[in-house]
């Protein structure tokens, strides 16, 4: 008897799949997704190619318009002077960059080190407090820096930074020995850590041969610096961290470890223009596509049969209504797997053709909060975990669409409400976190994305954990699915 | 909206029964639905089918849901409903009559012993109605299927039904064979054509005069020769005696006094 039940359920599911795959809708949607994937992959490929300083280098029209604007301004008028100084500095910065555009590191030095001097000089020259000697002084500074640019040796700057940091450290140690005062000591300790960070950065630059610029290595350096500084700040606080602070602290720990990993290995772990880079953020980038298709299937599978009257065809067959509805729900689950796999395959093919398949060999790098170490993982294993972590959300959204579609036999309502639910979830979560609405931690949108627990990360709110989230998802699932089955079973088929 | 479709839906378990029960092949439709419905084929309201599929694919879907429906069976049914030339076309291109026939094919594929049809000739042209009638008679006689039809078109039922059940205001007022009903309500009436009705009236008090030459009288078959003799003896010239033709429709009006739900 049981075996027979299994076979009959299989036949029902088989029919449901035939009905879906004989319809054009599924193919049209998948083609649209295919085109969107191509489009987005191209954007990843062709975006972000230029230097950060192209803005100054290739925006002639803009610079020209600045020059024209400058002519209309009078530095002697107090209402004009601030704008005059800003525009003049901008023009001078741009001119200088034009002059040194042969090497990216020069542009970086101009932008980071010379640019503040230019503004300062102009302020002394045209501003309210004019000071000729200061202008001279600053001009000399600029002069000496520009000479170093002409010397073509970026390492000079790094060496300079390093020796300054070393001197600083040495003097701080001396101060430390002399001081007895605890408050003073603490200050020194903090300064020492800052100096050590400077030293670490300069050493990385020299040892790993990283010229100044705006590439991922420089980004890693600046992230490392920010993380170190913030961690030092938190460490110097003499109190138990609050939950929000702990979250932030963890973020900096992660950034610190990841930046060091990038600098040590030279690998760009967040590279977006590679197949692996796109795949490791697969659900963040393309999750919406999957969800739209899945909601569309789940939101029509029952209501369409009601609207077209074909449900009667099914209901006068020798199957219980529970079995008929169950077969439809299982079909939705099968379609979830199908849509995910097809979209993944399409992405791997498109990404592979555009970026090459080599990057699939690169590991996905993530910081593990449990072990406080960097963890490497194969991209396919990572995709599997990503999928599992997103599955509660996808299944719950599909169930919502399925339930509305069955109860109200209205596809539009089912699809709209489910999509709204998906799209508003991130806003809801932000509000809940932003306003510390602790009671909302049991709300479904806070719990259905298990990736918040990935690698032992702290969840949005205190008191949440993965097991509880799974339990909450199951409860929401049952709340939706049980009434759906009861209503479908009791339902009278009305005359059309 | 006289409750015909609702009745059929109750029989098929598509609506909840508030009182009474439906038993098909010995099984209660509410308690043992899958057993009761196993050997039932039905079309409720319009023939339902998936428009984006071909006729054959629609039949395949039905075949998948029953055990042991072979390809041969499908072909046989297709031939029976005369769709063999168009069966691989999309249903959206079918005429209404073809859809009705495909609907029947869907309903009889699993060899049911009860076929339930809701106004099977609704919307069909005269030719379609004739084809449908022939098909249903064939199913009933050759395939030995019980065919249950709901209709308010009484002339149609008169043509191919053997038994009727009249429902008025939700109550069954008659369930019997058509011939019996006709007999009961009007088939004892004889129509006479004579030279002078007044003369006949003198002889037979209980006649109803229709015009100068015709009258009718309620009288069993065996008394007819006696009456003819009696009239002849009284010099009434008889040109014609015939049984009055009554349609099922007339019979029903007499039974129900109007407002028929059948």
Structure letter (DSSP) for residue A443:
S
Per the rule left: phi > 0, alpha: psi between -120 and 50, beta: everything else, B204 is beta
Distance from CA of B195 to the nearest CA of A (A): 58
For residues A415 and A296, the answer to whether their CB atoms sit within 8 Å is yes
Kindly indicate the confidence band of residue A4, based on its pLDDT and cuts at 50, 70 and 90. low
Distance from CA of B253 to the nearest CA of A (A): 28
- A468 pLDDT more than 90: yes
**Nearest by Cα to A45 from A277, A299, A388, A371:** A277
Question: Residue holding tokens 């064979």?
Answer: B177
CB contact under 8 A, A19 and B50: yes
Our CA dihedral for A447, A450, A454, A459, rounded to 10 degrees, sits at: 0
pLDDT reported for residue A263 = 92
Kindly indicate the confidence band of residue B261, based on its pLDDT and cuts at 50, 70 and 90. very low
Average pLDDT of the residues in A414-438:
92
* B177 strand-pairing partners: B163
pLDDT reported for residue A304 = 93
Distance from CA of A26 to the nearest CA of B (A): 13
ipTM: 0.79
Q: What is the pLDDT of residues A7-64, one digit of tens each?
A: 689 999 999 999 999 999 999 999 999 999 999 999 988 876 566 677 667 677 888 8
Residues contacting residue A280 through CB under 8 Å, at least 6 positions apart: A364, A379, A382, A386
pLDDT reported for residue B203 = 81
Domain ranges for chain B, please list them: 4-181, 188-244
Kindly indicate the confidence band of residue A1, based on its pLDDT and cuts at 50, 70 and 90. very low
- B226 pLDDT more than 90: no
Instruction: Quote the tokens at residue A209.
Output: 């041969």
Select the residue of B9, B53, B66 nearest A22 (Cβ to Cβ).
Answer: B53
In this prediction the pTM is: 0.83
Kindly indicate the confidence band of residue B61, based on its pLDDT and cuts at 50, 70 and 90. very high
Q: What are phi and psi of B204, to 5 degrees?
A: -115, 110
Average pLDDT of the residues in A180-199:
87
For residues A268 and A216, the answer to whether their CB atoms sit within 8 Å is yes
Q: CATH classification of B4-181 is 3.20.20.10, yes or no? A: no
CB contact under 8 A, B65 and A319: yes
Q: What are phi and psi of A479, to 5 degrees?
A: -60, -35
Q: What is the pLDDT of residues A118-132, one digit of tens each?
A: 999 998 988 878 888
Identify the three-state secondary structure at position B95. coil
Structure letter (DSSP) for residue B30:
T
Query: Whole-angstrom distance between the N-terminal and C-terminal Cα of chain A?
Result: 36
pLDDT reported for residue A151 = 82
In A306-400, the DSSP E strands lie at 364-368, 373-377
- B241 pLDDT more than 80: yes
Instruction: Quote the tokens at residue A454.
Output: 């990935």
**B contacts of A23 (beta carbons < 8 Å):** 52
Q: CA-CA distance, A455 to A448, in Å (whole number)?
A: 17
Q: What is the pLDDT of residues A334-378, one digit of tens each?
A: 999 999 999 999 999 999 999 999 999 999 999 999 888 999 999
Q: CA-CA distance, A335 to A251, in Å (whole number)?
A: 36
- B220 pLDDT more than 80: no
What is the C-alpha radius of gyration for chain B, rounded to an integer number of angstroms? 24
Say what percent of chain B tops pLDDT 70: 89
B9 touches chain A (CB under 8 A): yes
Cβ–Cβ pairs < 8 A, chains A and B: 78
Q: Give the Å distances, CA to CA, from A4 to A7, A148, B159, B196.
A: 5, 85, 43, 79
For residues A312 and B14, the answer to whether their CB atoms sit within 8 Å is yes
- A233 pLDDT more than 60: yes
Distance from CA of B42 to the nearest CA of A (A): 7
- B1 pLDDT more than 50: no
Which of A305, A317, A486 is most worth mutating to test chain B (most B CB atoms within 10 A of its CB)? A317
Q: Indicate the average pLDDT of chain B.
A: 84
B53 touches chain A (CB under 8 A): yes
Distance from CA of A12 to the nearest CA of B (A): 7
Q: What is the pLDDT of residues B107-123, one digit of tens each?
A: 999 999 999 998 888 77
- A317 pLDDT more than 80: yes
* B165 strand-pairing partners: B175
Residues contacting residue A375 through CB under 8 Å, at least 6 positions apart: A365, A366, A367, A368, A455
Instruction: Quote the tokens at residue A417.
Output: 């409400």
Question: Residue holding tokens 């849509």?
Answer: A339
Q: CATH classification of B188-244 is 3.30.70.3400, yes or no? A: yes
Structure letter (DSSP) for residue B217:
E
For residues B96 and B131, the answer to whether their CB atoms sit within 8 Å is no
Query: Number of C-alpha atoms within 13 angstroms, CB side, residue A200?
Result: 21
B14 touches chain A (CB under 8 A): yes
Average pLDDT of the residues in A68-72:
87
Select the residue of B15, B51, B62 nearest A492 (Cβ to Cβ).
Answer: B15
pLDDT reported for residue A76 = 81
- B249 pLDDT more than 80: no
Which of A14, A316, A491 is most worth mutating to test chain B (most B CB atoms within 10 A of its CB)? A316
Select the residue of A18, A318, A493 nearest B38 (Cβ to Cβ).
Answer: A318
For residues A8 and A320, the answer to whether their CB atoms sit within 8 Å is no
């Amino acid at each position: 008897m049981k075996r027979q039940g299994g076979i009959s359920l299989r036949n029902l599911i088989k029919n449901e799949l035939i009905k879906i795959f004989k319809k054009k809708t599924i193919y049209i949607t998948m083609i649209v997704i295919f085109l969107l994937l191509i489009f987005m992959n191209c954007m990843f490929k062709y975006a972000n190619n230029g230097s950060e300083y192209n803005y100054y280098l290739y925006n002639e029209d803009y610079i020209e318009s600045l020059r024209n604007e400058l002519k209309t301004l009078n530095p002697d008028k107090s209402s004009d002077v601030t704008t005059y100084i800003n525009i003049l500095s901008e023009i001078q910065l741009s001119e200088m960059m034009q002059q040194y555009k042969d090497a990216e590191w020069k542009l970086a030095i101009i932008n980071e080190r010379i640019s503040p001097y230019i503004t300062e000089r102009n302020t002394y020259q045209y501003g309210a407090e004019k000071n000729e000697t200061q202008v001279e002084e600053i001009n000399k500074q600029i002069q000496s820096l520009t000479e170093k640019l002409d010397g073509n040796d970026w390492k000079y700057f790094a060496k300079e930074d390093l020796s300054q940091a070393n001197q600083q450290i040495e003097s701080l140690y001396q101060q430390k020995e002399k001081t007895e005062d605890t408050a003073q000591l603490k200050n020194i300790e903090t300064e020492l850590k800052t100096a050590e960070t400077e030293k670490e950065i300069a050493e990385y630059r020299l040892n790993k041969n990283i010229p100044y610029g705006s590439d991922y290595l420089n980004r890693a350096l600046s992230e490392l610096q920010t993380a170190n500084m913030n961690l030092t700040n938190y460490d110097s606080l003499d109190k138990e961290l609050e939950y929000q602070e702990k979250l932030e602290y963890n973020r900096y720990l992660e950034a610190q470890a990841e930046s060091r990993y990038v600098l040590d290995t030279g690998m760009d772990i967040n590279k977006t223009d590679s197949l692996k880079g796109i795949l490791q953020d697969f659900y963040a980038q393309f999750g919406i596509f999957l969800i739209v298709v899945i909601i569309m299937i789940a939101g029509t599978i029952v209501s369409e049969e009601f609207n077209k009257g074909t449900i009667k065809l099914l209901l006068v067959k020798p199957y219980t209504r529970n079995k008929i509805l169950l077969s439809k729900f299982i079909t939705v689950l099968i379609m979830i797997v199908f849509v995910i796999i097809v979209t993944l395959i399409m992405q791997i093919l498109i990404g592979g053709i555009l970026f090459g398949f080599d990057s699939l060999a690169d590991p996905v790098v993530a910081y593990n909060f449990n072990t406080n170490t960097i963890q490497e993982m194969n991209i396919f294993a990572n995709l599997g975990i990503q999928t599992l972590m997103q599955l509660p959300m996808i299944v719950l959204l599909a169930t919502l669409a399925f339930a509305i579609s069955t109860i109200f036999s209205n596809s539009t309502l089912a699809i709209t409400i489910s999509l709204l639910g998906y799209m508003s979830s991130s806003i809801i979560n932000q509000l809940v976190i932003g306003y510390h609405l602790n009671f909302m931690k049991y709300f479904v949108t806070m719990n259905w994305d298990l990736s918040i627990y990935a690698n032992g990360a702290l969840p949005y709110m205190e008191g949440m954990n993965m097991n509880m989230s799974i339990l909450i998802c199951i409860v929401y699932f049952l709340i939706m699915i049980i009434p759906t089955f009861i209503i479908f079973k009791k339902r009278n088929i009305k005359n059309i | 909206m006289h409750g015909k479709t609702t009745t059929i839906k109750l029989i098929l378990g598509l609506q909840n029964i508030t009182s009474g029960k439906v038993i098909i092949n010995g099984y209660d439709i509410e308690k043992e639905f899958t057993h009761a419905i196993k050997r039932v084929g039905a079309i409720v309201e319009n023939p339902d089918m998936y428009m984006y599929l071909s006729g054959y694919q629609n039949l395949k879907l039905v075949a998948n849901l029953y055990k042991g429906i072979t390809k041969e069976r499908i072909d046989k049914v297709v031939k029976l409903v005369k769709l063999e030339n168009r069966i691989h076309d999309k249903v959206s291109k079918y005429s209404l009559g073809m859809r009705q026939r495909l609907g029947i094919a869907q309903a009889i594929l699993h060899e049911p012993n009860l076929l339930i049809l809701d106004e099977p000739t609704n919307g069909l042209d005269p030719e379609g109605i004739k084809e449908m009638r022939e098909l249903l008679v064939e199913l009933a006689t050759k395939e030995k299927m019980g065919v249950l039809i709901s209709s308010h078109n009484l002339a149609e039922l008169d043509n191919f039904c053997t038994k009727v059940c009249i429902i008025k205001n939700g109550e069954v007022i008659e369930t019997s064979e058509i011939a019996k009903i006709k007999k009961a309500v009007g088939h004892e009436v004889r129509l006479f054509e004579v030279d002078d009705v007044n003369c006949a009236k003198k002889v037979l008090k209980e006649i109803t005069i229709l015009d100068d030459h015709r009258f009718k009288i309620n009288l069993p078959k065996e008394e007819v020769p006696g009456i003819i003799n009696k009239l002849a003896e009284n010099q009434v010239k008889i040109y014609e005696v015939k049984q009055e033709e009554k349609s099922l429709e007339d019979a029903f009006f007499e039974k129900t006094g109007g407002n028929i739900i059948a």
